[in-house]
With several copies, the nearest count.
Chain A
Amino acid sequence: MKAVVKIRLKSGVLDPQGKATQNALEALGFSGVNGVRQGKIIEIELEGTDAGAAREDVDRMAQALLANSVIESYEIEIDGQ
């Protein structure tokens, strides 16, 4: 079973990478880009077939390690059973 954790910077947290990417896109001549934010996506291959249990596990992983709640929020998707 595969779980996907999407980790984003909370709004209000300055995102240097997103900012630099936006500038670079503008420099390349792309117009109409109002904002860029960069986050992480973590794909986890899990044993087991119980989607509910998997979500709980992954939630604990996110809290314990994958995301830093001071600056980040996260979202979990479980798929492919």
Chain B
Amino acid sequence: MKAAVIVFPGSNCDRDAADALTWVTGRPPAMVWHTSNELPNVDLIVIPGGFTHGDYLRVGAMAATAPIMGEVFRAGIRGVPVLGICNGFQILCETRLLPGALMRNASLNFICREVNLKIETTATPFTRSYPDGALVRLPIAHHDGNFFADEETLNRLEGEGRVVFRYVDKAGKRVPAANPNGSRNNIAGIANAAGNVLGLMPHPERAIDPATGGTDGTALFAGLHEALR
């Protein structure tokens, strides 16, 4: 699998994402600067977390207008897998590769902790290696993870099985108490209709090393590697 990590001014999980990809594929991804007009020929595009352009104005908004995002958009439409983590998810919503928007956490506070998640579908290249209905623990670290979409969009997302990660309690139940940020329907991650574009607030790249935060993110990268070999 050949991967590219898009780097914007203010990206700060780019190294973490590259490390995770290197670890699983055995080779470092291409790091692509935001002003580039060209994407290398890759099997996977990762938009990492961070505070692109300081998240000033609106999270992800300025990054979404970067020259490279036109290429990413076209690649996403073509079916190239695109993974947006945290700020990457916010950017994908702003480019409209994914529906909805991410708003300020309901508590208004930045939240950094581990959350329980249910993998609602394994019918994506990102989740194919997880068992059906798997419960996983991943860290979140964000100020704006409160997913919003209008009723119609939500129904479509739910109806088409495009909610991929959901905040749940230890037993796997979708309860308000398990929702860290006020997200609609406890949504933590969604896919586009074709399933090749995934955006999620939790950080799978921070969960591949038992020394630092568990290994529940491993299957995501390993699954991609297998699928895109």
Contacts of B62 in A (CB 8 A): 20-21, 24, 65
Contacts of A64 in B (CB 8 A): 65
Q: State whether B105 touches A68 (Cβ < 8 A).
A: no
Q: Which residue of B lies closest to A17 (CB)?
A: B56
Q: State whether B57 touches A38 (Cβ < 8 A).
A: yes
Out of A16, A27, A66, A71, which one reaches B106, CB within 8 Å?
A: A16
Q: State whether A17 touches B54 (Cβ < 8 A).
A: yes
How many residues of A sit at the interface, in one of the four size bands? Answer: 10 to 19
Task: Tell me the count of chain B residues lying within 8 A, CB to CB, of chain A.
Answer: 24
Q: State whether B101 touches A68 (Cβ < 8 A).
A: yes
A4 CB to closest chain B CB, in angstroms? 15
Interface check B73, CB cutoff 8 A: no
Q: State whether B94 touches A20 (Cβ < 8 A).
A: no
Q: State whether B65 touches A17 (Cβ < 8 A).
A: no
A58 CB to closest chain B CB, in angstroms? 15
Contacts of B61 in A (CB 8 A): 24, 65, 68
Q: State whether A27 touches B146 (Cβ < 8 A).
A: no
Interface of B is mostly: loop
Interface check A53, CB cutoff 8 A: no
Q: State whether B65 touches A16 (Cβ < 8 A).
A: no
Interface check B27, CB cutoff 8 A: no
Cα A19 to Cα B100 in complex, Å, equals 20
Cα A46 to Cα B103 in complex, Å, equals 26
Contacts of B65 in A (CB 8 A): 24, 27-28, 64-65
B155 CB to closest chain A CB, in angstroms? 15
Contacts of B33 in A (CB 8 A): none
Interface check A12, CB cutoff 8 A: yes
What is the 8 Å Cβ interface bit string for chain A, positions 49-81, against chain B (1 contact, 0 not)?
000000000000000111010110000000000
Contacts of A14 in B (CB 8 A): 103, 148, 182
Q: State whether B148 touches A17 (Cβ < 8 A).
A: no
Interface check B104, CB cutoff 8 A: yes
Q: A12-B150, A14-B182 are in contact. Are A68 and B108 (CB under 8 A)?
A: no
Q: A16-B104, A64-B65, A68-B101 are in contact. Are A24 and B150 (CB under 8 A)?
A: no
Cα A21 to Cα B62 in complex, Å, equals 8
Q: List 21 A-B contacts (CB under 8 A).
A: A13-B103, A13-B148, A14-B148, A16-B56, A16-B105, A16-B106, A20-B53, A20-B54, A20-B62, A21-B57, A21-B62, A24-B53, A27-B65, A27-B66, A28-B65, A65-B57, A65-B61, A65-B65, A68-B58, A70-B101, A70-B148
